[in-house]
Amino acid sequence: MIHSKEAQVKRCLLYNKGLMPYQEAHEWQKSLLAERVHNPHLDDVLILLEHPPVYTLGQGSNSEFLKFDIAQNQFAIYRTERGGEVTYHCPGQLVGYPILNLQRYCKDLHWYLRQLEEVIIRVLAVYGLSGDRIPSLTGVWLEGRKVAAIGIKVSRWITMHGFALNVCPDMTGFGRIVPCGIADKPVGSLAEWIPGITCAEVRSHIVQAFTEVFGIEIVEEIMK
């Protein structure tokens, strides 16, 4: 049987968004996932956006990694169904939420996590930076500083949540937590190595690396 080239191409819808409240993005992801669990033939999705300041806790994560009292805090906090510990989102951090059907790629969560790391590593390479992996930990490091956090949730092999790359955020908020529950490894941002870098320019590099790593065709969606 001869398969057409078109039939073999994996399409991925790209939603390039700006600043979006965490809860709104979370509900959107859950909706997209539910649609694809119901109909696995729907196209994959990649959402790129930034969040207003917010702390998120992974499923089963330890609240002791917060350095403030949850009951008397002034910061938005959400406990989600992703893996991983507490993390911080804010403007200047580029967040990617892939909604992928892993049955089209590889039904292996460790493989998927390594692929997300590879996307970030390739983006850093564009700037001449060498991103590192640390065995037994998930994420990407630059010279010992964690610049990208990754946390996922998978249902029926459909993914949600994803990665957060510190491009040029105000790092103050990270001081109120033990990021990802790792006390002995500091966080960093690309702006420390590349002054003046912006999320706007990094977006295109993320899309290019994501296309290469997952072997997909990006279809950009225009949202009003």
Q: Which residues are catalytic?
A: 180
Whole-Å CA distances, 13 to 16, 43, 53, 195, 222:
10, 7, 26, 31, 10
Query: DSSP class of residue 104?
Result: G
Burial of 126 (0-12, 13-18, 19+ CB in 10 A): middle
Q: How far are the Cα atoms of 30, 65, 83, 215 from residue 106, in angstroms, in the given order?
A: 22, 33, 19, 12
If DSSP codes are grouped into helix, strand and coil, which group holds residue 180?
Answer: helix
Closest CA to 206 of 80, 18, 51, 49: 49
- Angstrom CA distances, 209 to 46, 120, 203, stand at 12, 8, 10
Yes or no: say if 104 and 44 are a contact pair by the CB < 8 Å rule.
yes
On whether the CB atoms of residues 59 and 79 are closer than 8 A, the answer is: yes
Question: Residue written as tokens 């350095």?
Answer: 67
